C-alpha cells in the first residue's frame, strides 16, 4: 500500500513539474497566432496564391530571424490560422468573428479583395481589433470609419483616373479608345478617367464596355483599329487581359500608348506573350528596380527563389507590405490591440514600397503610379517622383 | 460625347462586317465551341450522363499542354494526343468504376441522368481542388505560335489558326465518321434506340465505353487548344461546361451533327452580334438565342422533330 502511494505521489510530482516546465517554456516559444480568411475556392480563388505566397514568405523570414519581435525585445515564432471564405463576403465576416472570439488569435491579416475588406471592416470596429488591409481598392474604402483598418494601396480609382489622364497628356496622347470590363473596379476607374481625359483635352473615340466572360474581342478591336487612337486603354481583368493582348496583336492594333489594367503584373502574362507585351502600361506602384526602396530587390529575389516566379507587383507587394507594417507596429506596441491600433495609425513604416504612413484609412505617402513592361520587367514610369524608367512608346506587338 | 454616362456604339461599317477578319474569328470560336460541345453531346447521347465536369476535362487538357511545354519543351501539337489519352483514361476509369454497374441495373439506369448530374458535380469539385492543391490556383500561361500570319486582308495568330485547324478537322471528321463508318452507325443506333440497337446485335457496352473515352478525349484536346491563347487556372473549366450545355441544348440534346452546327452558330452569333450591337450585349445575345430556341424549337434548332 505504502509503495503504491509513493509511486502515485512521484508520478504526480513528475507530471506537475513537466507541466510547469512546459508552461514556463511556452512564455517565449508559444507562437503568435495570426488569423485570416482567404478566397481559396470560388470566383476570386485565382487571386489567392499571390497573397498567400506573400504571407508564407514573410512568416518564413520572420521565423528564420528568430521570431516576431514584440515590444520589449521578446521574440516569438509566428503561425497562421486561416479559413476558406469561398469568395463570399458573408463567410469572411463569420470567419473574422470566429478568429477573434473563438480562436482568439493575437493578430489579424487581410483577406483578398475589396468586397471582403468592406464586409469585415465593421467586425474589426466592433471587436476593436486592428488589421492592415492590402488587396482592396475603391473610393468606397474612404467611406469606412477610420480606426481599425488601413489600406496599403495607392491605386484608388479617382486618383488613378486623374493621374492616368495627366500621364497620357504628358506623353502627347490626343485621342483614346477605352474598353471597360463590366466588373466594379474597372467601371469605377472608367467613371473617373472619362471626365479627367475631357479636362486634359483628350478625345475619347471609342468607349465600350464588355462582359467579364467575353471570349472574342475581334469586332471591338476592329472598331478601335479603324479609329486609329493614340492610346488604347483596356480596363481589363486578368482573363480578358490575355484575350486583349492576343487579339490586339493578331489585328495589329498599334498605338504608342497601350494599357491593360489588371493582369500584366502576373508572371504568367509575360510568359504567355513574351516580347509582344513589352510596352504595355498597367496599374501598380511597386517595382523591384526602385533603388530608393532598399527592401524591394531582396523581397523580389527571395520570392523568386522560393516560388520560382516573379511576385505580382500589385497584390503580392501590397500583401507583403501589410505584414511589414504589422511587424513594425508590434515591435513598438506589442500585442495589445489598442496600443497596436495607435501605433499603426500614427507610425511611419519601412516597406518594400518605401516609407508608408497612414492618414485615416489611406496610405498617405505612396503616390498613385503606373507601371510599364520594359524588357519583360515592370518599371514605374509615372509619376516622376518614384519612376524607375522613362515611358517608352509601344513599338507594335 | 466624352463624359456621357453611356456611349452608344453605332454598327460598324458594312465592309468591316463583311471582312474576312470577322469571319475568321467567328470560325475560330465556333469550331472551339463545337468541339467542346461535341464531347459533352457524345457522352449524353449514348450514356445519358449529364457531365457537369466536362469543363474540368478541358482544364486538364490545358494543364497537360502547359506542363509538357514548361517542363519538357514539348509543343502543344504533341500534347494533343497525350491530353486525349489522359482524359480518355479518366473516362475509362469512371465507366468501369461507376457507370457500367449503374447502367446495367434498370432501376438505377432509369435515374442515371439526375444521379450523374450530382455525381459529376462532385467530380468537378474534386478535380478543381486537386488541381489547385497540386499546382496552386495561380494563373499559368506559355507562348506558342504567337506569330501573326497575314493572308490578304485577314491577320491570323498562328495558335488560333492551329486551333481552328484541329477543331475543324475533328468536328468534320466526326461527322463523316458517324455517317460512313460502321462504328459510327452503331453509335447513332445506340443514341437513337438503345434497346433496338442491342437487339440487332450492336455491342452496346463496347459502344458506350468507346464513346465516353472519345467524349472525354475530345474535351482534353479542346483544353490543349484553349491553353495556347487563354490563361490556365484550376477554375477555368466552368464557363466551358456552360457554353457546351448551351450549344447542345440549342442543337438538340444527343444530336451530334446538330450540336456541331450549333457550336458554329454560337460563334457567329457572338462575333457578328457584338459587331452589330455592342460587346455588352454578348450574354443577352447568347442566352437570348438559347431561350428563344427552348421556346420555339425545344427539340433543338437543327433537329428534325422526333416522331414518337
Would the ipTM clear 0.90, i.e. be above it?
no
pLDDT digits (tens, 9 = 90+) for B9-39: 455 667 777 889 999 999 999 999 999 999 9
**What pLDDT does residue B3 have?**
38
Query: Is residue A165 very low, low, confident or very high in pLDDT (cuts 50, 70, 90)?
Result: very high
SS3 of residue A31 by DSSP: coil
Confidence of residue A11 (pLDDT cuts 50, 70, 90): low
Q: Higher-confidence residue: B44 or A42?
A: B44
Contact B112, B103 (CB under 8 A): yes
Over residues A368-396, the pLDDT tens digits come to: 999 999 999 999 999 999 999 999 999 99
What is the domain partition of chain B in residue ranges? Answer: 29-296
Asked whether A359 and A158 are in contact (CB, 8 A), the reply is: no
Coil, helix or strand at residue A180 = strand
pLDDT tens column, A341-356: 999 999 999 999 999 9
Measure Cα distances from B96 to B111, B163, B278 in Å: 18, 32, 48
Q: Which of B16, B235, B279 sits opposite A208 (nearest CB)?
A: B279
Interface membership of A208 toward B (CB under 8 Å): yes
Are A249 and B146 in contact (CB < 8 Å)? Answer: yes
Q: How far apart are CA B23 and CA B142, in angstroms?
A: 27
Q: Give the closest-approach CA distance of B8 to chain A in angstroms.
A: 8
Residue A71 is classified by DSSP as T
Going by C-beta distance under 8 Å and a sequence separation of 6 or more, which residues neighbour residue B37?
A: B243, B244, B247, B248, B251, B259, B260, B262, B263
Cβ contact, residue pair A250, B155, below 8 Å: yes
A13: CB partners within 8 A, 6+ apart: none
Strand partners, A131: A149
pLDDT at B105: 85
In whole angstroms, give the CA distance from residue B160 to residue B146: 9
pLDDT in tens, B183-237: 999 999 999 898 899 999 999 999 999 999 999 999 999 999 999 999 999 999 9
B-chain residues within 8 Å CB-CB of A271? 140-143
pLDDT digits (tens, 9 = 90+) for A268-299: 999 999 999 999 999 999 999 999 999 999 99
d(CA A108, CA A130): 7
Report CA Rg, chain A.
24
pLDDT tens-digit readout, A47-95:
889 999 999 999 999 999 999 999 988 999 999 999 999 889 999 999 9
The pLDDT score that the predictor gives to residue B146 is 87
User: What topology does CATH give the domain B29-296?
Assistant: ABC transporter involved in vitamin B12 uptake, BtuC (1.10.3470)
Over residues A177-213, the pLDDT tens digits come to 999 999 999 999 999 999 999 999 999 999 999 998 8
| B16·A208 Cβ contact <8 A | no
CB–CB of B231 and A309 under 8 A? no
Per-residue confidence band for B7, with pLDDT thresholds at 50, 70 and 90: very low
What distances in angstroms separate CA A148 from CA A41, A138, A189, A318, A374, one per listed residue? 27, 18, 26, 18, 39
The span from the first CA to the last CA of chain B, in angstroms, equals 59
Q: Give the per-residue pLDDT at B2.
A: 40
Chain B nearest-CA residue for A187: B5
Strand arrangement, sheet containing A203-210: A203-210, A175-181, A231-235, A257-260, A280-283, A370-374, A377-382
Q: Which residue of B has its CA nearest to A238?
A: B231
Asked whether the beta carbons of residue A246 and residue B157 sit closer than 8 angstroms, the reply is: yes
Give residue A4's pLDDT band: very low, low, confident or very high (50, 70, 90). Answer: low
- What's this model's pTM, rounded to 2 decimal places? 0.88
The angle, 0 to 180 degrees and rounded to 10, between the axes of the packed helices B54-72 and B112-135 is 30
Instruction: Answer yes or no: are the C-beta atoms of A77 and A69 closer than 8 Å.
Output: no
**Strand ranges (DSSP E) for A319-366?**
348-351, 354-359, 362-363
B28 neighbourhood in chain A, CB within 8 Å: 216
Amino acid at each position: 500500500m505504502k509503495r503504491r502511494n509513493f509511486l502515485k505521489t512521484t508520478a504526480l510530482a513528475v507530471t506537475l513539474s513537466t507541466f510547469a516546465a512546459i508552461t514556463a517554456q511556452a512564455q517565449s516559444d508559444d507562437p503568435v497566432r495570426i488569423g485570416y480568411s482567404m478566397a481559396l475556392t470560388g470566383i476570386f480563388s485565382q487571386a489567392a496564391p499571390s497573397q498567400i505566397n506573400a504571407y508564407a514568405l514573410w512568416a518564413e523570414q520572420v521565423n528564420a530571424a528568430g521570431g516576431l519581435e514584440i515590444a520589449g525585445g521578446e521574440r516569438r515564432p509566428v503561425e497562421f490560422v486561416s479559413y476558406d471564405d469561398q469568395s463570399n463576403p458573408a463567410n469572411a465576416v463569420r470567419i473574422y468573428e470566429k478568429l477573434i472570439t473563438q480562436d482568439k488569435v493575437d493578430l489579424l491579416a487581410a483577406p483578398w479583395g475589396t468586397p471582403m475588406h468592406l464586409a469585415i471592416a465593421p467586425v474589426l470596429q466592433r471587436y476593436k481589433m486592428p488589421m492592415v488591409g492590402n488587396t482592396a481598392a475603391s473610393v468606397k474604402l474612404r467611406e469606412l470609419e477610420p480606426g481599425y483598418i488601413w489600406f496599403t494601396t495607392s491605386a484608388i480609382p479617382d486618383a488613378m483616373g486623374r493621374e492616368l489622364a495627366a500621364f497620357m497628356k504628358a506623353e502627347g496622347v490626343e485621342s483614346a479608345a477605352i474598353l471597360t470590363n463590366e466588373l466594379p473596379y474597372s467601371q469605377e476607374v472608367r467613371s473617373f478617367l472619362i471626365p479627367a481625359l475631357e479636362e486634359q483635352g483628350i478625345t475619347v473615340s471609342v468607349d465600350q464596355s464588355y462582359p467579364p466572360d467575353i471570349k472574342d474581342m475581334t469586332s471591338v478591336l476592329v472598331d478601335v483599329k479603324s479609329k486609329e487612337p493614340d492610346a488604347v486603354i483596356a480596363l481589363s481583368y486578368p482573363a480578358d487581359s490575355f484575350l486583349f493582348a492576343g487579339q490586339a496583336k493578331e489585328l495589329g492594333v498599334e498605338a504608342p500608348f497601350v494599357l491593360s489594367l489588371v493582369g500584366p503584373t502576373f508572371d504568367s502574362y509575360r510568359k504567355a506573350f513574351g516580347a509582344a507585351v513589352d510596352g504595355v502600361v498597367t496599374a501598380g506602384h511597386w517595382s523591384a528596380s526602385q533603388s530608393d526602396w532598399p527592401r524591394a530587390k531582396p523581397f523580389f529575389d527571395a520570392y523568386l527563389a522560393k516560388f520560382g516566379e516573379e511576385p505580382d507587383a500589385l497584390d503580392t507587394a501590397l500583401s507583403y507590405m501589410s505584414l511589414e507594417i504589422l511587424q513594425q507596429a508590434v515591435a513598438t506596441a506589442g500585442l495589445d490591440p489598442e496600443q497596436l491600433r495607435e501605433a499603426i495609425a500614427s507610425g511611419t513604416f519601412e516597406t518594400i514600397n518605401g516609407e508608408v504612413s497612414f492618414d485615416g484609412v489611406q496610405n498617405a505617402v505612396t503616390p498613385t503610379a503606373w507601371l510599364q513592361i520594359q524588357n519583360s520587367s515592370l518599371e514605374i514610369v509615372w509619376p516622376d517622383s518614384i519612376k524607375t524608367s522613362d515611358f517608352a512608346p509601344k513599338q507594335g506587338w | 460625347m466624352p463624359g456621357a454616362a453611356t456611349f452608344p456604339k453605332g454598327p460598324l461599317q458594312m465592309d468591316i462586317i463583311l471582312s474576312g477578319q470577322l469571319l475568321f474569328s467567328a470560325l475560330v470560336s465556333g469550331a472551339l465551341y463545337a468541339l467542346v460541345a461535341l464531347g459533352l453531346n457524345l457522352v449524353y447521347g449514348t450514356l445519358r450522363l449529364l457531365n457537369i465536369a466536362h469543363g474540368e476535362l478541358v482544364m486538364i487538357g490545358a494543364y497537360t499542354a502547359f506542363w509538357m511545354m514548361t517542363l519538357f519543351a514539348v509543343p502543344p501539337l504533341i500534347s494533343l494526343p497525350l491530353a486525349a489519352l489522359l482524359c480518355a483514361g479518366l473516362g475509362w476509369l469512371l465507366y468501369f468504376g461507376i457507370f457500367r454497374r449503374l447502367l446495367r441495373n434498370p432501376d438505377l439506369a432509369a435515374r442515371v441522368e439526375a444521379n450523374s448530374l450530382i455525381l459529376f458535380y462532385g467530380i468537378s469539385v474534386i478535380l478543381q481542388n486537386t488541381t489547385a492543391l497540386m499546382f496552386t490556383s495561380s494563373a499559368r500561361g506559355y507562348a506558342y505560335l504567337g506569330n501573326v500570319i497575314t493572308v490578304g486582308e485577314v491577320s491570323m495568330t498562328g495558335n488560333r489558326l492551329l486551333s481552328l485547324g484541329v477543331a475543324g478537322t475533328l468536328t468534320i471528321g466526326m461527322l463523316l465518321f458517324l455517317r460512313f463508318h460502321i462504328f459510327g452507325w452503331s453509335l447513332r443506333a445506340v443514341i437513337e434506340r438503345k434497346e433496338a440497337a442491342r437487339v440487332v446485335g450492336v455491342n452496346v457496352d463496347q459502344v458506350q465505353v468507346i464513346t465516353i473515352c472519345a467524349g472525354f478525349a475530345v474535351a482534353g484536346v479542346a483544353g490543349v487548344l484553349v491553353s495556347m491563347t487563354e490563361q490556365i487556372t484550376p477554375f477555368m473549366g466552368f464557363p466551358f461546361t456552360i457554353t457546351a450545355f448551351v450549344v447542345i441544348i440549342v442543337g438538340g440534346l444527343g444530336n451530334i451533327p446538330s450540336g456541331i452546327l450549333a457550336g458554329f452558330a454560337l460563334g457567329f452569333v457572338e462575333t457578328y452580334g457584338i459587331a452589330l450591337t455592342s460587346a455588352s450585349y454578348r450574354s443577352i445575345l447568347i442566352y437570348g438565342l438559347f431561350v428563344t430556341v427552348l421556346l420555339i424549337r425545344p427539340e433543338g434548332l437543327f433537329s428534325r422533330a422526333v416522331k414518337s
